[in-house]
Chains A and B, each alone.
Chain A
Amino acid sequence: MTEWLNVILQGVLIGGLYAMFAAGLSLIFGVMRLVNIAHGDLIVLAAYVALMVTQALGIDPLTSLIFVVPVMAIIGYALQRGLLNYTLGDDLLPPLLVTFGLSIIIQNGLLEWFTADSRKLQAGPIEIQTFQVMHGVWIGLLPLIQFAVAAAVIAGLQMLFYKTALGRAFRATSDDQAVAQLMGLDTRHVFAMAMALSLAVIAVAGVFLAVRTNFDPAIGPARLIFGFEAVIIGGLGNMWGTLVGGIILGVSQAIGAQIDPGWQLLAGHIVFLAILAVRPQGLFPKVWG
């Protein structure tokens, strides 16, 4: 019994990480209807940026966020202004294919630069600290921090969306780009800010991913898929939904892995497809606008 409780709890905490993968994806889809195929590879890129920062400055991974988040945000802004803005329009194909090309470029660029060796960030003693919540049920400190950060990130995004001028600009552009422009918004800038924000979230997710497991240049697409599944399970356009989606995915994978290690990923995908079959709009749909 407590064994299963532990498994489910681990799944819930991993769900926080998946929610962070999903939040950035959901954000840019909400603002500009762009699905970024390179999302997962950007998460891995953030992990490598953190690797370089921790090695160069000798600081621990969580502190490195002070550098990794702005660096990724700047990359996001530049990427949107310099490339992705030119792909937006009525046609679905250009953004899809350009981000797909970007995904291949990032993967192979990282492979060229860092080789295929798998790496990991060392966070020191907090990695192995655990505490007992009840008899036989243990929680790791790091997974707990990760989950709390994920919840904070989502709450922060929610607040930014509904309480700030930037959030108002995001919502206005999402509702009607032409009218937003007439009201004096520079949509190219608004889109770039959304991408910057998305990559800031990616930075946090990338660092936690790199602390939790080994990473190499090829693991990006799988993270994109996890994030995507969490978005669809939770319901398009719902930020808190991504957290629920992430948790459902995390718990499914944890239960699958407990039954048979080969079933970990499969269980997650099957639950996703099952939800798609019975409730294609997701659990809590709320398309922005």
Chain B
Amino acid sequence: MSRVEHATRSSRIGVALIGVALIVLALAPFWGDRQMLRLLAEVFTFVALASLWNLLAGYAGLVSVGQQAFVGLGGYLLFALVILAGVHPIVAILIAGPIGALVAVPVAALIFRLRGAYFAIGTWVVAEVFRLLASQISVLGGGSGISLPAAMVVAMAPSRQAREFEIYWLALALTAAVLGTIVALLRSRHGLALTAIRDNELAAQSNGIDVTRIKLIVYVLTGFGTAMIGALIFLMKLRISPDTAFSVNDWTAFVIFITVIGGIGRIEGPIVGTIVFFIMRQTLADLGSLYLLIMGAVAIVVMLWAPKGLWGLIAERFGWQALPLQRRLVLAPKTEEPGERS
């Protein structure tokens, strides 16, 4: 019997390494200090945001520059649920996901009417509308924003350390869940369709793939994940305002640069990109706005001369894949059936 195999030797090593890394990271509260945990949790949120954007733009061809709409929505949902309804913050984060997906449906109905680059700016308009609406909500601080009441934060866990561990593990678990969902999606039939759309949308359509439906699924799923990560980010920040929640620089520019530098259209890209991004940030942060300028220039250079990003260069040079996503046809060895010779 011939069959389709996902795994290669490099992906088996990759999966083993990722497993080890997950265990090491899960044990971080026992080997890292407070600073380290905060940094790692931030890294996780960017890995998740970039992976979600990569799914959207790299696979489904939906280049959005308005994902800050969902980050901010998630953040505001957290604050609204905690402050106005007294919901536990972690429960609020879990509720933010489905609401994000629910909001994504009518948004998609509107902006899917725009094609290509106009779609991109359309998503930006939606994010602006969300930002302006948020600044009209006076119970959540209006234009100047609001802090999470200390009493509600303290009530999360018995001690400060326990709370920090809780948030760290939550960040790790959510990011792992986002990555796991994306891998599962890409390995499913929808994933095959998505990869086909990534490679050639027209050809995918003429092979019977319902492109619009798949794009809608991806958009709604991304809204779900992005809103949840947004809620998590603002649980870590403890303060929200329309300008920080719906910041195009923080939640879209950085995320796009991370994905492009790491390798767009590959699952490993955002992870590699985030690592590069944080190394650059730690070394260049003193430069202030110059640092953003350098980021922009690096992204342009990568886009023009290495459009598949750093991971793309590595993967093509060595034929590596860190996760078993490829589909290879393995032909069964020809065995002679006893009844054949007669």
Q: Which residues of A contact B (CB under 8 A)?
A: 34-35, 37, 83, 86-87, 92-98, 100-105, 107-109, 111-112, 221-222, 224-225, 228-229, 232, 262, 265-266, 269-270, 272-273, 276-277, 280
Contacts and interface: CB of A to CB of B under 8 A. Distances in A.
Nearest to A231: B118
Contacts of A95: 117
A107 B125 CA distance: 19
Contact of B289 (A34, A108, A262, A265): A108
B132 A265 contact: yes
Which 8 pairs of residues, A with B, have the shortest CB-CB distance? A35-B117, A104-B296, A280-B113, A101-B296, A108-B289, A105-B296, A101-B300, A108-B293
Interface stretch (B24-32, B57-65, B176-184): B57-65
Interface bracket on B: 35 or more
Nearest to B307: A94
A225 B121 contact: yes
A104 B118 contact: no
Q: Which applies to chain B's interface (DSSP): helix, strand, loop or mixed?
A: helix
B128 interface: yes
Given A37-B121, A100-B253, A269-B128, 12 more contacts: A35-B120, A86-B304, A92-B117, A97-B299, A98-B303, A225-B121, A225-B125, A265-B132, A266-B132, A266-B133, A269-B132, A273-B110
A265 B133 CA distance: 10
A259 to B, nearest CB: 12
A184 to B, nearest CB: 28
A224 to B, nearest CB: 7
Given A105-B297, A112-B290, A97 B256 contact: yes
Contact of B264 (A37, A93, A101, A224): A93
A93 B110 CA distance: 22
A232 to B, nearest CB: 7
Contact of B303 (A35, A101, A272, A280): A101
Contacts of A112: 288-290, 293
Contacts of B126: 273
A108 B121 contact: no
Given A104-B295, A108-B289, A111-B289, A270 B129 contact: yes
A104 B121 contact: no
A272 B125 contact: yes
B229 to A, nearest CB: 21
Contacts of A83: 300, 304
Nearest to B58: A93
Interface in B112-127: 113-114, 116-118, 120-122, 124-126
21 contacts: A35-B121, A87-B304, A92-B116, A93-B264, A96-B117, A96-B120, A97-B63, A97-B299, A100-B65, A101-B300, A105-B293, A108-B290, A108-B296, A109-B293, A111-B289, A225-B128, A262-B135, A270-B129, A276-B113, A276-B114, A277-B110
A35 B116 contact: yes
B117 to A, nearest CB: 3
Interface in B72-129: 110-111, 113-114, 116-118, 120-122, 124-126, 128-129
Contacts of B129: 266, 269-270, 273
Nearest to A92: B116
A177 B107 CA distance: 35
A93 B293 contact: no
Interface string B220-260: 00000000000000000000000000001100010011001
A37 B296 CA distance: 13
A269 B63 contact: no
Of the candidates B116, B128, B288, B303, the one having the most CB atoms from chain A within 10 angstroms of its own CB is B303
Contacts of B65: 37, 100
Contacts of B307: 93-94
A116 B94 CA distance: 39
A35 B118 CA distance: 7
A122 B296 CA distance: 33
Of the candidates A97, A272, A280, the one having the most CB atoms from chain B within 10 angstroms of its own CB is A97
B292 interface: yes
Given A93-B264, A105-B293, A98 B304 contact: yes
A94 B302 CA distance: 10
Contacts of B61: 92
B136 interface: yes
A132 B111 CA distance: 43
Interface string B286-315: 001110110111011001100100000000
Contacts of A102: 296, 300
A94 B248 CA distance: 19
Nearest to A280: B113
A225 B113 contact: no
Contacts of B124: 221, 225
Of the candidates B61, B118, B293, the one having the most CB atoms from chain A within 10 angstroms of its own CB is B293
Of the candidates B117, B118, B260, the one having the most CB atoms from chain A within 10 angstroms of its own CB is B117
B141 to A, nearest CB: 14
A103 B249 CA distance: 11
A270 B133 CA distance: 11
A100 B135 CA distance: 26
Nearest to A265: B132
A101 B143 CA distance: 28
A94 B301 CA distance: 11
A134 B134 CA distance: 40
Nearest to A38: B296
A97 B118 contact: no
